Amino acid sequence: MRFHDVFSFLLRLSAATAAAVTSCGRAAESADLIVTNGYVLTMNDRKDIHENGAVIIKDARIIAIGPASLAAQFTAPKTIDARGAIVMPGMINTHTHASMTVFRGLGDDVPDRLRALIFPLEKALVNRELVYWGGLHGMIEMVQGGVTAIANMYYFEDEVARAAKQLGLRGVFGQTVINFPAPDAPEPYGGIALAKKFAAEYRGDPLITPAIAPHAPYTLDAAHLRIIARESETLNLPVLMHVAEMTDEVATIRKEHNQTPIEYLDAIGLLNRRLIAAHCIFVNDSDIALLKARDVGIAHNMVANIKSAKGVAPALKMFNAGLRVGLGTDGPMSGNTLDIIGQLGYVAKLHKLDNHDRNVMLAVTVVEMATRGGARALHLEDRIGSLETGKLADVILIDRDATHMIPFYDAYSTLVYAAGPRDVRTTIIHGRVVMEDRKVLTVDVADVAAHMRTIAAGISAAVAKGIR
């Protein structure tokens, strides 16, 4: 080796050694990923903000968080310079049906959409391939919009979970159970057996939490709801369910049982901490007290509910009463888009209007619902929902450079009233960079879009032939 080469090697070695030593003279601690120079919005109990901060990640968890100078105490194979972007916990979508992206745009402005269009289309067209590609496409949209965890319910839910694993998305995935033959279960209520099999397959998975998803109180009988309650308890499975969403649901249960839907589910044994109840539009004060006493998670789907003209759920009252309230998009046939950021402004403004008070549903409250509120609704607040030492590293970076993001005075107001899903620059889930600088790194987005166009062409042909 020539003298020049030896000298260059020694210089590089000296520089590497210096980089591995802190300003205090101690050896730097190893990490997997460093995010630095960001406006860090922790969403912890104190709502701490580090205006020029850093988040240090190792083994899928946050091991340190604080001012940007903290980064000098660590070495990592990858460092992301946030360049002033908002660094915050990922958004959590507490209720959706990702695979229904294949039907997005069908059924808008159609009366009785569920029975007149959705159920017939699903019966005729839904299969494993459609569920996989539609689910993957929908979950890509969520990752691009800063969603890092979801609660999803549909048929062939094992295919949705498979797609989520490939993409790298965290979630609670519920196998649908319903009282008529379904695309994945030729016998009514066949989804119960499928849910048990699905739960066994994914038990203990770091990203996938298997669940059972009875469609609604009006599409299952009491006997099978009791079976689901027992299986949920035995297998410790979350239960995903549409609850108190329809006026005819409320009227039928009142007529048949002289109860509200909440009281009915409580009598059956389903109202407990394993339940994540979507919608809860038609609940009274007594129902709210019962939901709190049973520690139920609530998925508030503002955009889907107002689009269908069903009403405004008393989510603010529930949140102020200490219930576990998160935000959801519902399926892409209901709310059409799947990002949570796009929900924020609607949640704030509609509750102000509904209460005739501009001083309610503050921006900070809405952001809390979208992050730690969603984690609480899924009973995952010990793991996700805020940026804190020891929690799983589900982190997003939101640019502040777009015209509509300038000037920047208050992070919460900016997120709720100005930001959009395309402002999300980078999405990190379980310590893994899933999207960086708007490029999804784990799957081929163009290939997924091509499959979706092929599926959509087939659906269009079927609809033209009168399949409804």
Residue 100: which of 157, 149, 147, 143 has the closest Cα? Answer: 157
Buried b (16+ CB within 10 A) or exposed e, 41-58: bbbbeeebbbeebbbbbb
Residue 164: which of 116, 121, 198 has the closest Cα? Answer: 198
Residue 325: which of 170, 95, 43, 46 has the closest Cα? Answer: 95
DSSP-based three-state secondary structure for 396: strand
* Residue 462: per-residue pLDDT: 86
Contacts of 16 (CB under 8 A, 6+ apart): none
CA dihedral for 439, 443, 447, 449, sign (positive or negative): negative
Strands 275-279 and 49-58, bridge-based pairing: unpaired
Residue with structure tokens 């940026």?
Answer: 387
Beta strands in 72-218 (DSSP E): 74-75, 78-81, 86-89, 91-96, 147-154, 170-177, 208-214
* Residue 190: per-residue pLDDT: 98
DSSP-based three-state secondary structure for 279: strand
Residue with structure tokens 């899933």?
Answer: 434
CA distances from 284 to 291, 301, 373, 376, 389 (A): 11, 18, 21, 22, 39
Residue 216: which of 263, 179, 247, 271 has the closest Cα? Answer: 179
Cβ-based neighbour number of residue 438 at 10 Å: 13
DSSP 40-108: EE--STT--EEEEEEEEEETTEEEEEEEGGGGGGEE-SEEEE-TT-EEEEPEEEEEE-GGGGGGTTSST
Strands 49-58 and 61-67, bridge-based pairing: antiparallel
Residue with structure tokens 């369910």?
Answer: 241
Q: What is the pTM of this model?
A: 0.93
Task: Please calculate the CA angle 146-148-152 and round it to the nearest 5 degrees.
Answer: 115
Domains of the chain from N-terminus onward: 31-89+387-437 (2.30.40.10), 91-384 (3.20.20.140)
Contacts of 326 (CB under 8 A, 6+ apart): 92, 94, 297, 298, 299, 300, 369, 370, 373, 374, 375, 376, 377, 378
Computed on alpha carbons and rounded to an integer, the radius of gyration of the chain in Å comes to 23
Cβ contact 63:56 at 8 Å: yes
Residue 127: which of 184, 176, 179 has the closest Cα? Answer: 184
Cβ contact 330:304 at 8 Å: yes
* Residue 6: per-residue pLDDT: 45
Residue 65: which of 52, 81, 76, 77 has the closest Cα? Answer: 52
As a whole number of angstroms, the distance between CA 387 and CA 4 comes to 47
Beta strands in 316-406 (DSSP E): 324-327, 395-398
* Residue 13: per-residue pLDDT: 44
Cβ contact 151:96 at 8 Å: yes
Structure token pair of residue 118: 């959705």
Report the DSSP beta bridge partners of residue 424.
398
Report the DSSP beta bridge partners of residue 49.
41
The pLDDT profile of the chain, 468 residues, written as one tens digit per residue, is 444 454 444 444 444 444 444 444 568 899 999 999 999 999 999 999 999 999 999 999 999 999 999 999 999 999 999 999 999 999 999 999 999 999 998 878 877 777 777 788 888 899 999 999 999 999 999 999 999 999 999 999 999 999 999 999 999 999 999 999 999 999 999 999 999 999 999 999 999 999 999 999 999 999 999 999 999 999 999 999 999 999 999 999 999 999 999 999 999 999 999 999 999 999 999 999 999 999 999 999 999 999 989 999 999 999 999 999 999 999 998 889 999 999 999 999 999 999 999 999 999 999 999 999 999 999 999 999 999 999 999 999 999 999 999 999 999 999 999 999 999 999 999 999 999 999 999 999 999 999 999 999 999 998 888 765
Helices 222-235 and 191-202, axial angle in degrees (round to 10): 10
Cβ contact 86:397 at 8 Å: yes
CA dihedral for 311, 338, 276, 248, sign (positive or negative): positive
Cβ contact 169:429 at 8 Å: yes
